[in-house]
Amino acid sequence: MSELAYQTEHEVAPVVAKLSGVRKRYCENTVLDNVDITVRKGEVVALVGPSGTGKTTVLRLLAGLESASEGRTEVTGNTSVVFQEPRLIQALRVWKNVLLDDSLKPDARERALTALQDVGLEEKLESWPVSLSGGQAQRVAVARALYRRPDLMLLDEPFSALDAFTRRSIQSLVLKLWAKYRFGVVIVTHDLDEALLLADRIVILSKGRICHETHVDLARERDVTSPEFNALKRDLLRQFSLSLS
């Protein structure tokens, strides 16, 4: 898909998140410097780049956990976050971990069950977190994000602590849920294969600035062994290397 075709496909979709001229400083340290990012409903955007270059700060701004020092942050509709660790509360059963502070709502348990069905864990409804594998715990974290019926889902390296087989399984799950609900996605990852497998658009950040953007012109499901996949990966590695110079 050409850049023009990509823009034509997505320009009719509503904007769910936008950073405009955003700068973020911590005392004298500038973490983000004049960053512009727009995410539309149904679009998957991957943020990659060296450690400490501001990727997670972008997610925190979009999640409302941080405020920009300059510029504008606009988010429309519901936002949910899946972190690197599942962050389950051990004293609560799985379904209560899914809904957390919504336990008094009359349909809360049914909605939690629906979210767990979406991630293939309906049989774990009454289980305790200690009984879950690492992959199951992260699926519960995804169910908790789904429970909010998000327009925008933020993923902060959510698969990095998982083994390769489980990581691929959860990646496939996220794509299945994205295809079903068509929420916008912003994912932070250090894994270029993961970015190429999941994203419509990849943004490379370096020293707090966007130094490169590319549209992933590959039909889903994507094959990591295909020549097209590896050609894109080589180009991203080249751009990544240039960002370090």
CATH number of the domain encompassing residue 228:
3.40.50.300
Low pLDDT (below 70) residues in the chain: 1-11, 102-104, 245
Domain annotation covers residue 113: no
For the record, the structure tokens of 202 come out as 């990849």
Domain annotation covers residue 108: no
d(CA 238, CA 191): 15
Domain count, the chain: 1
* Contacts with 28 (C-beta within 8 Å, 6 or more apart), sequence order: none
Domain annotation covers residue 160: yes
For the record, the structure tokens of 90 come out as 């051990």
What pLDDT shows up at residue 199?
97
End-to-end CA distance of the chain: 30
Strands 209-215 and 201-206 turn out to be antiparallel
Q: Which of 85, 89, 224 shows the shortest CA–CA distance to 162? A: 85
What pLDDT shows up at residue 195?
95
The three-point CA angle 80-155-162 to 5° equals 125
What pLDDT shows up at residue 155?
97
3-class SS of residue 40: strand
d(CA 129, CA 226): 39
Q: Specify whether the CB–CB gap between 42 and 184 falls below 8 A.
A: yes
What residue numbers bound the domain in which 188 lies?
Answer: 3-85+151-244
What pLDDT shows up at residue 5?
52
d(CA 192, CA 197): 8
What pLDDT shows up at residue 106?
79
| HSE-up of residue 58 (Cα within 13 Å, Cβ side) | 37
Residue 52: Cβ within 10 Å count: 12
* Contacts with 118 (C-beta within 8 Å, 6 or more apart), sequence order: 143, 146, 177, 180
What pLDDT shows up at residue 52?
86
Domain annotation covers residue 64: yes
**C-alpha dihedral over 131, 136, 137, 142, to 10 degrees?**
-150
Q: Specify whether the CB–CB gap between 51 and 96 falls below 8 A.
A: no
Strands 29-40 and 15-26 turn out to be antiparallel
3-class SS of residue 161: coil
Q: What are phi and psi of 60, to 5 degrees?
A: -65, -35
Domain annotation covers residue 15: yes
Domain annotation covers residue 215: yes
